[in-house]
Each structure stands twice: as C-alpha cells, then as structure tokens.
Chains A and B, each alone.
Chain A
Amino acid sequence: MIISEQKPFESMLKIIQNGSVFIIGCNECAALCHVGGEPEVLELKNQFIESHINVTGWIVLDPACHLLNNKRLFKSVNKEIDDADHLLVLSCGNGVQVIEELYPQKHIISGTNTLFVGAEIQRGIFERQCNLCGSCIVDDFEGLCPISHCPKQMLNGPCGGSMDGKCEINKDFNCIWDKIIHKKIKMKKIDSLTKIIPPKDWTSYKKYQWRDQYKL
C-alpha cells in the first residue's frame, strides 16, 4: 500500500486561514496508515471547528484514487463542496491528484506527505518495499530488491561500507545485500553470486513516468 503521514495541523491552518473547508478522506491506504480514515477525518474536523474554521462537510472515499467511484460518491455532497473555499484531501498524492481532476476550479490542499510504497509489519510500523521502477528484477535476488533497499542501488553485491549486516549510511538500516547473500547461501544458489548483472534498463520506468495515461 501507499504509506503517507499527516502534515502538521498548523501548516494546514496556515493555508486555510479564514476560508471554509471540505475534508476528503480515503478508506484504503490512508485509513490503514491512520492519516485519512473516518476517525482522522472527524478528529481534524473537530480541530478546525475549535479553531473557528467553517467545515462545510466531509466524506471518506473508497478509495480516493478511484475516479469513477468518486464521481458517484460525491453526488451526495455536491452542495457542501460548492460551499467550501478549499478541499483538504487526506489521501496519498495519488488520491489528491484524482480529486484535482474532478474539481479543477477548487483550491486543493494536500493534508499528507506521501512517503513510500510498503507494508505494515506491526501495528503502526511500516516498511518501505517497492520503488515502482517499472521493470521488476527481484527474481534475480531471491525476491529481495536492491533497487528499493540499497541506497546506491547496487546490482552486483554490497559496497565496501557494508558492516555486520548494516548499511554504511545508517546503522539502523539493514544492508539488503547482506540479506541477499545469506539467502542465496541458504538456498544453495551461490553460483549466481558471481554472475555480473548488467546495467538496469530504465526505459520502462520512463515509459510510465512520461505519459498522461496508460492502457493496461
């Protein structure tokens, strides 16, 4: 899922100033990250009211990035949206931009910072997994990904700064290559450790990056 964090309340307040606001949440990733589900939307609504901000209404989409479903759900809150100066979106950047497509005349405020694609490994603890590079190569690395987990995106083994399973840039950060090597040893695939992996082809990344739409 897409992991995001909520921006500080003060920063949202600064943008809204004396205007009115309609709050939009998301029932998928943002809800799982506890930044844009119903409890968070209602809590934020109360905070705004306490700060004398006019909240014209709220909705939790399912999910915010589902444009067609959004159109249907928004029918019930058309007036509240019309009355608002700002639409505050508590979803990932994906959802925020889908809302912008639906309401190009409205001022959109993103209430979150979108951080990464990952998984919740314990309640409230998220682990980054995929960099969305466009051409998955994890089958060469026993399901582990050096593109998203190695800060230098090394494809041919750990750099000289790998020490006791930790990355040179941060001792709290595991070296993915240490993990790959030990997994390959365990799976008796050590021959593949001496295979030279050629430079990665980034064209598929760009293919998806630099087009407005893509038909799957």
Chain B
Amino acid sequence: MKQNHFAVTSEIGPPKSADGSIITEKADLLRYCTDACNITDNQTAVVRLSSLAGSVLLKQKNIESIYQISCRDRNRIALQSDILGAIALGINNILFVTGDHQSVGNHPHAKGVFDIDSIQLVSIAKAMRDEGIFQNGEPLKKRFSNLFIGAVSNPFATPYEYRVDRLEKKIMAGADFIQTQSVFNIDHFQNFMDEVISRGLDKKVFILAGVTPMKSEKMMDRMKFYVPGVDIPDEVYNRLKNADDFQMESKKVSYEIINSLKKMKGVHGIHITALFWESIIPPLVEQCGFLPRH
C-alpha cells in the first residue's frame, strides 16, 4: 500500500473445530488473488479456533495474515501478551476490534471482559511499538518495530455525523490501516469519504473498503434486517430479490461496487468478506482486473 498499490484483502473465519485444514484450504484458494487474509477472532461471539493459531497456520504456508484481536474476551494484560506473542511468531499485521457482545453469540451466559475498547487497544499497541512501553508505563525488555496496526470503521452505523470523528480518533490513536464495514450503499460511503478527504485523513491511513458478495437471499435478508450496522439499500435489495440467478446477480453487484470503490478518491484497497462463499473471490478479483497479485 505504501507503494500505491490497490490492496486486496479477504477474510477467513476459523472453524468450530480444531481442524486447521479448513483454514489452509481456504487460504490455498485465496493465496493468489489477495494480498493478505484476516483471521477473525471468535466473530459474532461464537467459539472457533483461535485467531492467533489460524494466523500461524497461514504463516506456515507463506500467506500474509491479518490477525484479529477483540477486546471482548481478554483484559489489557492478555491483549498485550498476545501482541508480543504474535510478533514473536512473525505475525505483524494485527487488526484491533472491540468485538461483538457475547450476548449475540453461542455462549450468551459468558461474562464479557471489555476492560478496554478498540481505540485504547490501538493506542496501547502503538505505544508498545513506538515508545517501547506497556500500558502501565513500564518499558518492554526489548523493543520491536514490526507491527502494522489495523482498526475497523463502520460508516453505516449511527450517529452518522460521529463516524468520521471516530475514525479520526482511531488514526490519532495509531491505526496504520482501516478496514470498513461492507459497502452496499455507495452514495453514503462517498459522503463519508468526502468528509474523510476534507479532513486529510486519507493521507494519514490506508483505507480498505469492505465488500461482501452475498451467497443467498436468506443471507441478504439476515444482513439487511438483523445485523446492526449493515446498510443494504432497497434498490440493491430489490434488484437481487428479483434476479433470476441470485448468485450471478450478487457477483455483478459486488463487481460494480468494487469498480466504484476503485475509482473513489482516498480508497486504498478493498477487503472482501465472502461468508461461506470464498470460492467467489478468485473469479471476482480476476474480473475486476486485480490479477496477478504477486
């Protein structure tokens, strides 16, 4: 990204088992069409194979990983420890999120941690890297510099007027790159980016816009009506609802969104999350003219 290449990242959700081959098989599918893969941290608060372990599995196959850490399940002691562990294992891209609340997952009776929020975690990671200190001010015994700090942004959550402020806070805290919530509403995203650009934030951080090719009508319904913070405009919804071949039309929608994002000022790449439909990513990336990647 520092060389002005348009980045393409994607996402692998680890399995609800200890079967690491699920990750490596998905990674084999994505290795030639993306620059790096996120490994999610018990996303939607459902227990899965650990994201650090998943990131190491990618590393063993020479695939660049983006290790996701959420604040839901660990306090500041464990989070800092995991950052050190990741660096020691050669995992250098870490994406810090607050995390979905445990009540929406498969262990709703769990006690959430939420000792710190994602912005605080980003600033802790930056201080560990740049100043060589822990959150309590104590110095690290040996400093490290090889950490690329990621954070997320959701331009589609409310209050809309605050979303660029919050992005700015993440940048001030130390984010090097941002992955956004999936974009379906291009006009809204353009408004968000206009404000980002007017504040010069696109010069301070790499922004990867989220893209989600939806596999089925059922999934689209779930995303539109039940997942907070997702904005699928009626126009897109009805177009897919009335399509003869949902998946073909869905791929077309993603293709058009990516083309708009590609031209959009301030967008440095895309992050494709194809839930349960990773096989669509290689042909989609090829159609968009992003191949070869390496």
Contact = CB atoms under 8 A, between A and B. Distances in A.
A102 interface: no
A157 B100 contact: no
Contacts, number: 100
Interface in B71-95: 71-72, 76
A157 B118 CA distance: 10
A161 interface: yes
Contacts of B166: 156-158
A153 B162 contact: no
A161 to B, nearest CB: 4
B157 A154 contact: no
A124 interface: no
Nearest to B159: A181
B270 interface: no
B162 A157 contact: yes
Given A162-B229, A163-B228, A156 B157 contact: no
A28 B117 CA distance: 37
Nearest to A154: B117
A52 to B, nearest CB: 38
Contacts of B103: 151, 169-170
A181 B162 contact: yes
Contact of B154 (A151, A160, A193, A199): A160
Interface string A166-189: 101110000000100110010000
B22 interface: no
A160 B162 contact: no
Interface string B147-159: 0000011100111
B101 interface: yes
A194 interface: yes
B221 to A, nearest CB: 17
A194 B165 contact: yes
Interface in B110-126: 112, 114-120, 123-124
Interface of B: 71-72, 76, 98-101, 103-104, 112, 114-120, 123-124, 135, 152-154, 157-159, 161-162, 165-166, 168-169, 172-173, 181, 228-229
Interface of A: 151-166, 168-170, 178, 181-182, 185, 193-194, 196-200, 202
Q: Which 4 interchain pairs have the tightest Cβ spacing?
A: A160-B154, A156-B119, A168-B228, A161-B228
25 contacts: A152-B114, A153-B117, A154-B117, A155-B117, A155-B120, A156-B118, A156-B119, A156-B169, A157-B119, A157-B166, A158-B158, A158-B162, A160-B153, A160-B154, A160-B228, A161-B228, A162-B229, A169-B104, A178-B159, A194-B172, A196-B169, A196-B172, A196-B173, A199-B120, A202-B115
